[in-house]
Each structure stands twice: as C-alpha cells, then as structure tokens.
C-alpha cells in the first residue's frame, strides 16, 4: 500500500500560498499512484470562505482519494463551521482492507495550539482491530520537532495521547503543522511529520516537501519528496517484526 502524506497547503490569495510550487507538486504527486492521499490540515490560512472555496477548487487537481483533517489555520474566523461543509467529518475511522486510519481534529477555534480530549482518545482505541494496522493522523505534533524553531503548540494532552499510542503499539502516527519533515521511532511507533506542500513559509533549505509511505507486509518505509529539486530521499524505515529502525534523512 502506498500513502501520500501531504500537509500545510495554505491556500490563500495573499503571500502564504506558492501557486507555482503547488502546480509542480501536483504533477509529481499524481505520478505517485498512491492508494490514498492523507492531508494533515492547514488547507487555508485564515479559515475564510473564499479560502475554502479556493482549496476545494485547487484540490480537484489532485487525483485519487483524499482524506483530510483540519489544522489550526482552518479553524480561524469560524472556519470550523465551514470545514465539514467542504471536506466532511473532522473525526473519523476510515477502513481499508488491511488498515484503519483514524483521522482526528487537534485544532481549536482561533487558537494555534491544540488538544485531542477523551472523546478522540476513545476513537483511537475504537480504530484498533485485530489483524489490521491502525494509523492515526492529525495536524499538531505530540513531541518536539527539530529544525522547527522554539517549541510551541504541542497538543495539551500529549502525554495521555502518547501513552495510548505506545500502549496499543500503534505503528504509525501522521502529523503536520511544523512545516518540516521529520520522523522518529519510539518503542514500536513511528511518529512522522510531513513538511509543507505549498506554503511560502518554508524553513531554511528544507523547501516544500511531502512524504511517501510504503507499507509492505511488516515493513513501513517513508521517503521525503523535495518538490523543487524533484528528489526523493528515504527518511525512515521500520520493520514491525523485529522492531529495527533506520533513519536516513538526518
Ligand atoms: Fe501550517
Ligand atoms: Fe498549523
């Protein structure tokens, strides 16, 4: 199974959105032939109606099934009322043959930081099914992300969330928000951040990127695709059967 993980597109009529890089990114992404595309939030910059309309229009260029959770920017200015109208449920379990994807909204109206809360924690456990791999996806991060500046916005209930993830040996957690790609293995879990797909606010020389996740039996391999350079580089690999992990990107 191939999952394309994209994040922080920031569709906006101001300086946040890089249209040229978006067009290039879409061309590359459409060649990936992913089973589905997971979008971990920040589709807008201010949660405005015209940004949601713009996002809906531009996302049509991306082929394939798109699964979307909101980011902090999408909840601004009553944007949280528009998100379900445009992109459906903010909290859900999407079931595939071999995996269950639990999508969750960590964002809160008009706040940059986020939380999950007990209801969503319950949804995580409901997404666990014998014989299937559970993947969780949300916008904010649960542990600090290097190369993304001073630490802010880790979800309020990061400790409890991490505890549920690790105790249940959930192999893969997909996040965004920090605009840099990163991955780390803790216990039997890969915590993975996608960089920004099309926002002008990139960090240092990281540029615009997205992640390609390849799940083959017990092996999870994640690569980062640098959009400007059109270069793919392996970031992390985890073999669930022996717990061995290799981090190549940094
Ligand atoms: Fe963002
Ligand atoms: Fe964000």
What are the pLDDT digits (tens) for 41-50? 999 999 999 9
Ligand nearest to the CA of 180: 1
pLDDT in tens, 204-232: 999 999 999 999 999 999 999 999 999 99
CA 27-30-35 angle, to 5 degrees, is 160
Confidence of residue 134 (pLDDT cuts 50, 70, 90): very high
- Cα(216) to ligand 1 centroid in Å equals 30
Q: Which of 178, 112, 177, 176 is nearest to 148 (CA)?
A: 178
Q: Is the predicted pLDDT of residue 243 greater than 80, yes or no?
A: no
- Cα(239) to ligand 2 centroid in Å equals 30
Mean pLDDT within 40-67: 98
Confidence of residue 6 (pLDDT cuts 50, 70, 90): very high
- Cα(9) to ligand 2 centroid in Å equals 10
70: Cβ contacts below 8 Å, ≥ 6 apart: 41, 43, 79, 80, 83, 87, 90, 105, 107, 139
Q: Which of 16, 4, 14 is nearest to 201 (CA)?
A: 16
d(Cα 250, Cα 247) in Å, to the nearest integer? 7
Mean pLDDT within 88-109: 97
Confidence of residue 250 (pLDDT cuts 50, 70, 90): low
Mean pLDDT within 121-146: 97
Q: What's the pLDDT at 244? A: 72
- Cα(93) to ligand 1 centroid in Å equals 24
- Cα(112) to ligand 2 centroid in Å equals 7
Residues with CB under 5 A from ligand 1 (ion): 8, 42
Distances (CA, A) of 142 to 28, 60, 116, 214, 247: 29, 31, 10, 23, 19
Confidence of residue 241 (pLDDT cuts 50, 70, 90): confident
Ligand nearest to the CA of 43: 1
Ligand nearest to the CA of 153: 2
Contact at 8 Å (CB) between 138 and 186?
Answer: no
Confidence of residue 40 (pLDDT cuts 50, 70, 90): very high
d(Cα 83, Cα 106) in Å, to the nearest integer? 13
Ligand nearest to the CA of 70: 2
Q: Give the position of tokens 């992404």.
A: 29
Ligand nearest to the CA of 7: 1
Mean pLDDT within 179-205: 96
Between helix 118-126 and helix 158-167 the angle, nearest 10°, is 10
Mean pLDDT within 232-246: 87
**pTM (global) more than 0.75:** yes
CA 228-231-232 angle, to 5 degrees, is 130
Residues with CB under 5 A from ligand 2 (ion): 42, 71-72, 177
- Cα(179) to ligand 2 centroid in Å equals 8
- Cα(18) to ligand 1 centroid in Å equals 13
What helix, strand, coil percent values describe the chain, rounded to 5?
Answer: 25, 30, 45
In whole numbers, what is the pLDDT of the chain averaged over residues? 96
- Cα(65) to ligand 1 centroid in Å equals 22
């Amino acid at each position: 199974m191939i999952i394309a993980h994209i994040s922080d597109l920031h569709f906006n009529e101001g300086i946040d959105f890089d249209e040229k890089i978006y067009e290039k990114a879409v061309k590359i992404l459409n060649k990936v032939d992913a089973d589905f595309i997971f979008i971990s939030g920040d589709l807008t910059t201010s949660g405005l109606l015209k940004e949601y309309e713009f996002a809906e229009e531009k996302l049509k260029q991306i082929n394939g099934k798109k699964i979307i959770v909101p980011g902090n920017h999408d909840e601004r200015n009553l944007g949280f009322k528009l998100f379900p109208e445009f992109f459906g449920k903010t909290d859900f379990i999407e079931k595939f043959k071999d995996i269950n994807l639990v999508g969750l909204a960590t964002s809160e109206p008009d706040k940059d930081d986020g939380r999950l809360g007990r209801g969503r924690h319950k949804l995580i456990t409901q997404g666990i099914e014998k014989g299937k791999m559970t993947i969780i996806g949300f916008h904010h991060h649960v542990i600090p992300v290097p190369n993304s500046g001073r630490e802010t916005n880790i979800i309020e209930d990061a400790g409890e969330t991490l505890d549920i993830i690790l105790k249940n040996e959930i192999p893969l957690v997909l996040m965004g928000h920090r605009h840099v790609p990163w991955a780390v293995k803790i216990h039997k879990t890969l915590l993975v951040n996608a960089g920004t797909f099309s926002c002008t606010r990139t960090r240092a020389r990281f540029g615009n990127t997205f992640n390609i996740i390849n799940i083959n039996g017990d092996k999870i391999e994640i690569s980062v695709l640098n959009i400007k350079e059109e270069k793919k580089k392996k970031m992390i690999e985890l073999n669930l059967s022996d717990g061995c992990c290799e981090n190549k990107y940094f």
